[in-house]
Chains A and B, each alone.
Chain A
Amino acid sequence: DVKVTQSSRYLVKRTGEKVFLECVQDMDHENMFWYRQDPGLGLRLIYFSYDVKMKEKGDIPEGYSVSREKKERFSLILESASTNQTSMYLCASTIPGQGTYNEQFFGPGTRLTVL
């Protein structure tokens, strides 16, 4: 069965801390995505990656970076967490190819609170 896992379901961090959110998929998918979900705003794309060591900015990359050293793992990094980054973070993956014909498989999400 398809599986996308995220390292934490809930995370509480302090302003200024460096935060790592990890996402792992076991489906040999090449395409991986990070979104943040906020009430009334839906899902907004932060970064995505079509291959190892490859990344592209999404719609709201400011304050975030990513790392893709291995095919199955896509990490989201908050270099210096701020309170406006308090949100639900969702990771997703799709099967190979750069088209969007294929649906995304989502992890359960990480609810991050920055104090």
Chain B
Amino acid sequence: AQSVTQPDIHITVSEGASLELRCNYSYGATPYLFWYVQSPGQGLQLLLKYFSGDTLVQGIKGFEAEFKRSQSSFNLRKPSVHWSDAAEYFCAVGTTSGTYKYIFGTGTRLKVLA
């Protein structure tokens, strides 16, 4: 079955520390991959996406993600976290065959310590 797994429900980091949020997917073909961020009380905003080419993609707010086909992973990274990065992060897969739809992970809530 198609699925997206974000194994970390909560992550706490200190401001200025590096960050890595994990995402693994299960899908028969190479999907389109997305990371979204949801600030409290708001909808989701796209951080970055991957569909082909260079496996390291850059996004907004200093985020990047690396697609690793062999590991079926698309982890999100940021070298230095800011307090304003505290939010919930969602990884999503866009299917590329059959019924086109997006499948979301369960989210990772990031807390940033001053």
Contact = CB atoms under 8 A, between A and B. Distances in A.
B46 interface: yes
Interface string A31-42: 001010000111
Given A42-B105, A42-B107, A101 B44 contact: no
A100 B32 contact: yes
A47 to B, nearest CB: 11
A100 B43 contact: no
B99 interface: yes
A61 B96 CA distance: 22
A43 interface: yes
- Pick the 10 closest A-B CB pairs, nearest first: A100-B94, A106-B43, A42-B106, A43-B104, A106-B44, A103-B46, A42-B104, A108-B43, A98-B100, A100-B100
Given A4-B43, A100-B94, A45 B102 contact: yes
Contacts of A43: 44, 90, 92, 104
Contact of B51 (A4, A41, A101): A101
B100 A99 contact: yes
A87 B15 CA distance: 32
Interface residues of A, number: 24
Interface string B24-43: 00000001101010000111
27 contacts: A4-B43, A35-B104, A40-B106, A42-B4, A42-B90, A42-B106, A42-B107, A43-B44, A43-B90, A43-B92, A43-B104, A45-B101, A92-B43, A99-B100, A100-B94, A100-B95, A100-B100, A101-B51, A101-B94, A104-B44, A104-B102, A106-B43, A108-B41, A108-B42, A109-B41, A109-B42, A109-B43
A103 B101 contact: no
B9 interface: yes
Contacts of B49: 103
B18 interface: no
B70 to A, nearest CB: 23
